[in-house]
Amino acid sequence: MAVSILDPNAPDFTRRYVNLADPRLGAQALEASDEFFAPKERMLNPEPAVFIAGKYDDHGKWMDGWETRRKRTTGYDWCIVKLARAGVVKGLDIDTSHFTGNFPPAASVEAAFVPGAGTPGSTTEWVEIVPSTTLQGNSHHYLDVTNGQAFTHLRLNLYPDGGVARLRVYGQPQVDWAGTNRSELVDLAAMENGAHVVAANNQHFGAASNLLMPGRGVNMGDGWETRRRREPGNDWAIIALAHPGAIKRIEVDTAYFKGNYPDRCSIQAAYVSGGTDSSLVTQAMFWPVLLGEQKLQMDKQHFYESEIAALGAVTHVRLNIIPDGGVSRLRLWGVLD
């Protein structure tokens, strides 16, 4: 059975950081040693892998992922992936969902930084970020990465061959802000700019990180949705902005949320230096109000400017949805501090 990003056993990095291998953000599977049974591009699909019984193509059983032929020579199979943005990798998920008698016994991951829009070549220096690791069939393999360098490309090595349903590369994009016009509005809550979710009290139906994805949501599953609240209070998500800045324009988009959108929302904000994530959760309860309570409507983009309090530069926000429900996207346009 495929498990989504909301797998309760998944580590925190799957909820906090962007999937740098997401093709919706521009990631690409560039090259593979072999893709006889299933193409490399399929491994990056954002949807959870599926199994379709009885589906075959010209090469054999159709599998939802990247699958190489049975290797009859020495060596091993590999695939090079160009990340959507240069970024620091925090963790990976090598997912072998539905691959049982055809999964690789082991895998390793290397990474490289290629300046500009280049592609890796013979002189590219690869750094091992995940040593050879034993894999199981039909399983998620969540792997922490401690290397703090920024990378643009990964190479997934399979020992010796087999199939991988999905590769997720969770990390923090690295953006060069040096040339940014300080009077220009920038979406400081955009995941591709480096914003990330610090914490959310509930993500039962949809991950809070979806709030920061580009474009509008494509369906009700492409947003942050909490379970039905049966007790007093409200649900919330804390977001670390991509760069300190003064918020000038806000969008709260409830696309596709109709019978389950929040009744109201509000936003608190603060300039935070230091502290742990757990301390932020407590602090955020007392942050100043950036946007007072606003009535929301179903399946609609809500824009705010005159309603925004002049708090100056902030680094974090807390989005409150009252009492619960689903929000597709949050945009916070501001000027850099």
Write b or e for each residue in 173-211: b if 16 or more Cβ atoms lie within 10 A of its Cβ, otherwise e. bebeeeeeeeeeebbbbbbbbbbbbbbbebbebbbbbbb
What domain range includes position 282? 186-336
pLDDT in tens, 22-72: 998 899 999 999 999 999 999 999 999 999 999 998 888 999 999 999 999
The pTM score is: 0.84
CB atoms within 10 A of CB 56: 9
Are 190 and 168 contained in the same domain?
Answer: no
Share of the chain above pLDDT 90, in %: 83
Are 205 and 142 contained in the same domain?
Answer: no
Question: Would you say residue 6 has pLDDT above 80?
Answer: no
Return the CATH number at 209: 2.60.120.260
Are 130 and 190 contained in the same domain?
Answer: no
The per-residue pLDDT of the chain, averaged, comes to 94
DSSP single-letter state for residue 279: H
Question: Would you say residue 2 has pLDDT above 50?
Answer: no
Asked if residue 5 belongs to a domain, the reply is: no
pLDDT grade, residue 4 (50/70/90)? very low
Last residue of one domain, picked from the residues 150, 173, 196 = 173
Last residue of one domain, picked from the residues 173, 205, 238 = 173
